[in-house]
């Protein structure tokens, strides 16, 4: 089957928009109406007039789009496309922690469930975390949920001492600084660019730290010709498209393979995208009252950033 033509016909017929994250497989990135980092995709979800949003990403991203668009149908090609960070923070555990530290504001990274969002004062993404944290007074007590690496990075950048939830991304957390340094020895011209979900040792040796969109902006503007990329490998597709003359090397992880592929992001395929547009399932369904509570901290984030 020619999935490209079928998907094109279906999205036109159904007035559907396909939002795709940079970690999706290249074919999905190429067919998406819009690709971006999680902040840009959330913004796009607010602006769209489409009747159906197909979210080619992971569950928390589609959930965020649904919370911002309760009246629209939001589809996710594979409902199993989860996130190790979102799984690391259970809403009941967070509710307990809030009781223990009632004087703390809760800033939650967008990679979390709708229930966790509903318990938060404000949401942030890797693209705006610094700005969101800095919008609070210096002496504000903050609990940062669920990514301890991003939280620790913001603590170092701002000199704050936010309490950190002990969660991490299963792909970024295992990138290995020593192996990256070894790789750099063999590619002395290459700059290390890293996502803030990486562990502190990798971030320490990085020449640039930023969200997926920020990394793409960086390589376009920067004068180097070679980069060691410390994030999920899906992003290499855009990097090569935007700067075909440059060379990219994958940062090495603790395992023996060189595949920093998120198993959840890579669950989405062209066939599943086609089927979900055709059958309008799997759909993201959320309780109205939960959506109302989770929307507030997301809207606060959009206003602040």
Residues binding ligand 13P (CB under 6 A):
37-39, 111, 125-127, 169, 195, 197, 211-212
Phi, psi of 159, rounded to the nearest 5 degrees: 70, 20
Q: How far is the CB of 108 from ligand 13P (least distance, A)?
A: 13
Minimum separation from the CB atom of position 15 to ligand 13P (A): 26
Both ends of the chain: CA-CA distance in Å? Answer: 43
What sign for the dihedral angle of Cα 189, 195, 198, 201? positive
Do 17 and 7 form a contact (C-beta atoms < 8 A)? no
Relative to beta strand 191-194, strand 226-230 is parallel
Beta bridge partners of 105: 142
Nearest CB to ligand 13P, comparing residues 198 and 270: 198
Q: Which is nearer to ligand 13P, 63 or 197 (CB)?
A: 197
Q: Least distance to ligand 13P from the beta carbon of 22, Å?
A: 6
Find the shortest distance in angstroms from Cβ 288 to ligand 13P.
Answer: 26
Q: Distance (Å, rounded) from C-alpha 107 to C-alpha 121?
A: 6
CB nearer ligand 13P, residue 40 or residue 273 = 40
Nearer to ligand 13P, 125 or 176 (CB): 125
Nearer to ligand 13P, 128 or 155 (CB): 128
For the bound state, the minimum distance from the C-beta of residue 38 to ligand 13P, rounded and expressed in Å, comes to: 4
- Catalogue the E-assigned strands of the chain: 16-21, 34-36, 52-56, 73-75, 105-109, 122-124, 142-145, 163-164, 191-194, 208-209, 226-230, 247-250
């Amino acid at each position: 089957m020619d999935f490209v033509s079928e998907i094109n016909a279906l999205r036109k017929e159904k007035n559907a928009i396909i939002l795709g994250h940079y970690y999706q497989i290249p074919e999905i990135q190429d067919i998406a109406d819009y690709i971006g980092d999680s902040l840009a995709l959330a913004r796009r979800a607010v602006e769209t007039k489409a009747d159906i949003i197909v979210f080619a990403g992971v569950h928390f991203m589609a959930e965020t789009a649904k919370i911002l668009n309760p009246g629209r149908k939001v589809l996710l090609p594979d409902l199993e496309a989860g996130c190790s960070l979102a799984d690391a923070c259970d809403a009941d555990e967070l509710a307990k922690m809030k009781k223990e530290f009632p004087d703390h504001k809760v800033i939650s990274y967008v990679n979390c469930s709708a229930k966790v969002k509903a318990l938060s004062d404000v949401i942030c993404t890797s693209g705006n975390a610094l700005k969101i944290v800095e919008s609070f007074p210096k002496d504000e007590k903050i609990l940062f949920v669920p990514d301890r690496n991003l939280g620790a990075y913001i603590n170092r950048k701002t000199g704050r001492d936010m309490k950190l939830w002990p969660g991490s991304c299963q792909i970024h957390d295992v990138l290995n600084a020593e192996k990256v340094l070894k790789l750099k020895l063999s590619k002395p011209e290459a700059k290390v660019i890293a996502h803030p979900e990486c562990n502190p040792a990798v971030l320490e040796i990085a020449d640039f730290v930023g969200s997926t969109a920020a990394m793409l902006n960086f390589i376009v503007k920067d004068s180097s010709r070679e980069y060691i990329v410390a994030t999920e490998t899906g992003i290499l597709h855009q990097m090569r498209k935007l700067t075909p003359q440059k060379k990219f090397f994958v940062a090495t992880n603790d395992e023996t393979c060189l595949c920093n592929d998120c198993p959840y992001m890579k669950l989405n395929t062209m066939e599943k995208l086609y089927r979900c547009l055709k059958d309008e399932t799997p759909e993201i369904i959320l309780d109205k009252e939960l959506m109302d509570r989770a929307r507030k901290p997301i809207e606060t984030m959009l206003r602040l950033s």
